[in-house]
Chain A
Amino acid sequence: MLDDDHPMTAETIPAAARPSGIKGPRRPLFRRRSAIPGFGLTLGVTLTVLSLIVLIPLSAVAIKASSLSPSQFLAAAFSERAVAAYRLTFGAAFVAAVINGVFGVLTTWALVRYEFPGKAVVNALVDLPFALPTAVAGISLATLYAPNGWVGQYLTPLGIKAAYNPVGVTIALIFIGLPFVVRTLEPVMRDLSADVEEAAASLGAGRFATIGRIILPALGPAWLTGFALAFARGVGEYGSVIFIAGNMPYKSEIAPLLIIIQLEQFEYANAAAIALVMLAVSFLMLLVINAIQAWSRRFV
């Protein structure tokens, strides 16, 4: 309620009564909480470059694929050969990610918790797949796992045909995916506080119960993220795979190779259709990874 002798403050003056030249404060579109200059310029450059290099060219895939009729699109993107390629690509990427998931946890555990000679070298070597050109890995793995190769010669008598086979694809994807799992787990494992393990032990939990009920669940979100990153990278991988895969249609031909084959036959729209399917999977993986990280923040 307004007191009669309450002095009128600036806020109580009706807008119409204000002198016309003075405007009330206007809320800017972008709230400038920062006093640091250069925002317009750097954001402008960022958005322009991002659009020109990434977004507009990527949209070309969708636009090119849309030049096909729906039935043409289905025929190109989900032909028997394409479906066989997806099955191999996603299947091999999944198996490789699972294997990396298991050995990634062990590797990270050894690097974070144990001391052993050569640990620094092992730690540096984990990043080799990031630093080594994929084609180099490809020809080397193909040579190793060929029937007369260093490793292949021992597998052949066992009836295992590694190179030029889906097994070979999986081997290449294990190489490519390992660091994703290790480097995602590492900071989380390092930050696990000793307190929590000591608490579990003082409550009567044995070492295995502590690992199974406390440590592994705490690593869960990071593990899933690493797994998803390794899987996503494996799905798109080309260089390290084509040399060892054998590239037999329906059998050991991966989806990225199929895109190249369509391109070489100047079937640009067909290539775009397959690429669109792969992009859709990539976006899905991105969403999944973001969802995992949002979910894991719930507990922190």
Chain B
Amino acid sequence: MAAPSRAHARHPTDDPLWAKVVVIGLVLAFLGLVLILPLAAVFAEALRKGLGPAIAAVSTPDAWAAIKLTLITAGIAVPFNAVFGLCAAWAIAKHDFPGKPLLITLIDLPFSVSPVVAGLIYVLVFGLQGWFGERLIDHDIKIIFAIPGIVLATIFVTFPFIARELIPLMQEQGVSEEEAAVSMGASGLYTFWRVTAPNVRWGLLYGVLLCNARAMGEFGAVSVVSGHIRGLTNTMPLHVEILYNEYDFVSAFAVAALLCLLAIVTLVLKSALEIAQPDVKRGGGH
């Protein structure tokens, strides 16, 4: 056995320096190309003609209408899915019943359905030729090519986000605290508010954050059911598409930049939450 020097002594789980440099270099190059460049391009294109036109583009009445519709949609879809997620997690994590794995798989289902198919199913149900099409016309109720359709499609694509976050979290926490509360005579609702809710609030917030980002950014599903009526049924991503297809690139990228800021804020809050409350990352909902 030769006697290697201190400089060559390396812990067995540690990689040689050259390997580290190569791997980190490859990773940074790949992420730079795939992630950073597209993000930078949005802001560069938005500011191509300076700040003025960019600000003008996001202050047109159509842009404002799109922003408002996006906020309304997320404002309905996110709380809806939060309530659903809490119900589902309470039933699944705190009780035993047959068919539980199947139920979890079904809740996850919208993750694996193409957004376009998500839009299509509501057209098939509520559209002109759909199951309820004629009855809806008789009562003058518009769902497809109107706001209710947009909200429904958004709820569908973001359906599993919060439930997926809460179920594993609540399962891990077990039932002993709730059982203790109930055995001391607390009601179900009181137990939920005073015992369970404080334990899952950060996980809930994490799920809400991801759900909201997807709700505000959804394109495919919303595109199918919206009808693209400017100022009425255009969300921000749809507004971006229209401007882009009209070759109004500066305006398209200006609105896109606004959505990028939303994404960045989401990522910053998400990272902060992961650092402050490491438990939230367990859920792993996408």
Residues of A bordering B, CB below 8 Å: 30-39, 41-43, 45-47, 49-50, 53-58, 60-61, 64, 103, 106-107, 109-110, 113-114, 116, 120, 122-141, 143-144, 150-151, 174-175, 178-180, 183-184, 187, 194, 197-198, 200-202, 207, 210, 229, 232, 235-239, 243, 255-257, 259-260, 263, 266, 268, 271-272, 275, 278-279, 282-283, 285-286, 290
Contacts and interface: CB of A to CB of B under 8 A. Distances in A.
Contact of A201 (B12, B34, B129): B12
B201 interface: no
A126 B28 CA distance: 11
Given A33-B96, A106-B23, A124-B268, A236 B112 contact: yes
Contact of B114 (A49, A128, A282): A282
Contacts of A127: 267, 270
B23 A35 contact: no
Contact of A136 (B24, B98, B108, B256): B256
Contact of A35 (B112, B179, B244): B179
A236 B87 contact: no
B82 interface: no
A266 B191 CA distance: 52
Contact of B217 (A107, A110, A136, A272): A136
A136 B210 contact: no
B interface: dominant SS = helix
B217 A114 contact: no
Contacts of B24: 110, 114, 116
8 contacts: A36-B188, A38-B91, A103-B26, A103-B27, A110-B27, A114-B15, A138-B219, A198-B12
B229 interface: no
Contacts of A49: 84, 87
Interface residues of B, number: 103
Contacts of B28: 122
B224 to A, nearest CB: 6
Interface of B: 12-13, 15-16, 19-20, 23-24, 26-28, 30-31, 33-39, 41-42, 45, 84, 87-88, 90-92, 94-98, 103, 105-110, 112-117, 120-125, 127, 129-131, 152, 155-156, 159, 175, 178-179, 182-183, 187-189, 191-192, 210, 213-214, 216-220, 223-224, 236-238, 240-241, 244, 249, 252-253, 256, 259-260, 262-264, 266-268, 270-271, 284, 286
Given A107-B31, A256-B114, A183 B263 contact: no
A236 B116 contact: yes
B244 to A, nearest CB: 5
Contacts of B156: 53-54, 57
A237 B221 CA distance: 10
A140 B42 contact: yes
A42 B106 contact: no
B210 A130 contact: yes
Nearest to B163: A46
B38 A103 contact: no
